[in-house]
Amino acid sequence: MSGPFDFTLALGDDALIAAQRLAEWTTRAPEMEEDIALANIALDQLGAARLLLSYAGELEGAGRDEDALAYLRDDREFRNCLLVELPNGDFAVTMAKLLVLSAYQLPLYTALAGCADERLAAIGAKTRKESAYHLDHAALWVRRLGDGTEESHRRMQAGIDQVWPYAQELFAAQPQAPVDPASLRADFDATVSAVLAEATLTVPDSAWAPAGGRDGLHTEHLSYLLAEMQVLHRAHPGARW
Amino acid sequence: MPVAAVNSAREAAAAVVDPEIRVITIEDLGILRSVEVDPGTGRVVVTITPTYTGCPAMDVIRADIRRALAVAGHPDAEVRTVHSPAWSTDWITDAGRAKLASAGIAPPAPVRRDGVVPLTLAVRCPRCGSPDTEQLSRFGSTACKALWRCRACSEPFDHVKAL
């Protein structure tokens, strides 16, 4: 996987699946402000997904638009990283996931903004501004919970430990891609380790590196997510609000 | 094409209000990028850009622009959406900032030029003018706003966050 279509599709799928998971918090967040915040971040991810999937469809040239790509593919055809399809878990797990995702997306979109592909550059210039807010929000909560009570510290560390192995897949080298994810690793490590240090949390020392999302090999969680996300479109093709 | 036609199309599009912040026009907000009229056919092409990528108001804004142009005598109109250059709150006009403030929405501070994370400056309460305010939530009632509260008069208020 390294061509512009595969690359763009994978980024679009990351954003789409992240949006769907974050939206599950709507009406269930620990407080009203957080409910709105998570819904807003989900909406930003959905906006990025629409731009990326629309462009992926054009690159493919097979007549598939954003809806066809989002609603009419099966799990094995999705190219998102495993991180975004993992269940939300408790609030600490969700914030650990958002920290890892946004600390990856911010340098990724920033690099995209300077890449040779004009469409991807425009998308990157737009989405990086939003990612900066996502990272800020996740870092705020990770610090607050990590450097909070004994219980919040314990659960925040557990959240980071659970999510950490899934970060490895994000930086698998793709030398031919518009942006090589391997080049983002140093930026990611610097950002995350600074946040974890402030939060009095430990960077996990784990050699386990689950992967496969970029090749369409997913956890069982993705199928359930897709079933809920796609059911309306599949039952009523072309349905409109 | 007479200049009058270009002006009337421009005025009609510029007067469309934001459906979620109805005190401010799309021109004030800086999302109206251009209005062009084809001299041969009279077809109007309006170019807009979203504030945030996922802004759900875009469909309504497109429909409102087409409706306003039709009323102004330009039934043949197309609305195009561009994403580059990316919208910035620095594009909100001074008139727009004044309208936001008078509607109880604190306007954004200027965006720092050298980075993507905006500076956090004191936000003045749009009701009593006090700088003694606090952020309740980075994310507010729409994608472009944050929720704040004034410690002086205790009123909560929206703040358009710098982007």
Check if A227 contacts B (Cβ < 8 Å): no
Q: How confident is the model at residue B15, as a pLDDT?
A: 96
pLDDT of amino acid B114: 53
What pLDDT does residue B78 have? 95
Same domain, B65 and B40: yes
Q: What's residue B119's pLDDT? A: 54
In a domain, residue B86? The reply is no
Q: Please, which pLDDT band fits residue A98 given cuts at 50, 70 and 90? A: very high
pLDDT at B4: 85
* Interchain CB distance below 8 Å, A46 and B117: no
Domain of residue B47: give its range. 3-81
pLDDT of residue B142: 84
The pLDDT of residue B118 is above 80: no
Across the range A114-128, mean pLDDT stands at: 95
Q: Give the residue on A whose Cα is nearest the Cα of B89.
A: A129
Is B103's pLDDT higher than 80? yes
What value does the mean pLDDT take over residues A137-148? 97
pTM given for the model: 0.91
Q: Pick the range with the lowest mean pLDDT from A71-75, A164-168, A218-222, B117-121.
A: B117-121
Structural domain count of chain B: 2
Mean pLDDT value of segment A228-235: 96
Q: Do B53 and A33 touch (CB under 8 A)?
A: no
> In A, residues 69-108, which contact B (CB 8 Å cutoff)?
106
Give the model confidence (pLDDT) of B18-31 as tens digits. 999 999 999 999 99
Whether residues B27 and B56 share a domain: the answer is yes
**What are the φ/ψ torsions at residue B44 (nearest 5 degrees)?**
-100, 135
ipTM, two decimals, is: 0.81
Domain end position, chosen among B49, B81, B113: B81
C-beta atoms of B53 and A41 within 8 A: no
Please give the pLDDT value at position B137. 86
Residues B98 and B77 placed together within one structural domain of the fold: no
Residue A110: closest CA among chain B residues belongs to which residue? B116
Regarding whether B147 and B117 lie in a shared domain, the answer is yes
| Angle CA A173–A176–A182, to nearest 5 | 25
Final residue of a domain: which of B81, B106, B132? B81
Q: For all residues of chain B together, what is the average pLDDT?
A: 90
Residues of A in contact with B87 (CB under 8 A): 126
Please name the helix (run of DSSP H) or strand (run of DSSP E) that holds residue A15, with its range, or none: helix A4-23
Nearest chain B alpha carbon to A241: B59
pLDDT in tens, A122-142: 999 999 999 999 999 999 999
Q: What is the DSSP string of A114-163?
A: TSS-HHHHHHHHHHHHHHHHHHHHHHHHHHHHHTS-HHHHHHHHHHHHHH
- Give the pLDDT mean for A180-194: 97
Domain boundary among B50, B81, B112: B81
Domain ranges of chain A: 4-235
Instruction: Give the residues across from B149 on adjacent strands.
Output: B134, B156
CB B106, CB B76: distance < 8 Å:
no
Q: How confident is the model at residue A45 (pLDDT cuts 50, 70, 90)?
A: very high
What's residue A1's pLDDT? 47
**B87 in a domain, yes or no?**
no
Contacts of B147 in chain A (CB under 8 A): 33, 36
Contact A50 B53 (CB under 8 A): yes
Q: Which of A130, A133, A136 sits opposite B53 (nearest CB)?
A: A130
Give the residue from B14, B18, B4, B28 showing the smallest Cα distance to B98. Answer: B28
Residue linked to tokens 């807009």: B48
Residue B14 belongs to a domain with what CATH number? Answer: 3.30.300.130
Judged by a CB distance cut-off of 8 A, whether residue B114 touches chain A is: no
C-alpha to C-alpha distance for A211 and A164, rounded to whole angstroms: 12
Residue of A20, A43, A53 to mutate, testing the B interface (most B Cβ within 10 Å of its Cβ): A43
- Can you give the pLDDT at residue A203? 95
pLDDT single digits (tens) A47-89: 999 999 999 999 999 999 999 999 999 999 999 999 999 999 9
Using the predicted structure, report yes or no on whether residue B121 has a pLDDT greater than 80: no
B24 and B72 assigned to the same domain: yes
Helices of type H across B72-147 = 94-102
The band of B162, judged by pLDDT with boundaries at 50, 70 and 90, is confident
Edge-to-edge strands, sheet with B145-150: B105-106, B156-160, B145-150, B133-137
Q: Domain A4-235: what homologous superfamily?
A: Ferritin, core subunit, four-helix bundle (1.20.1260.10)
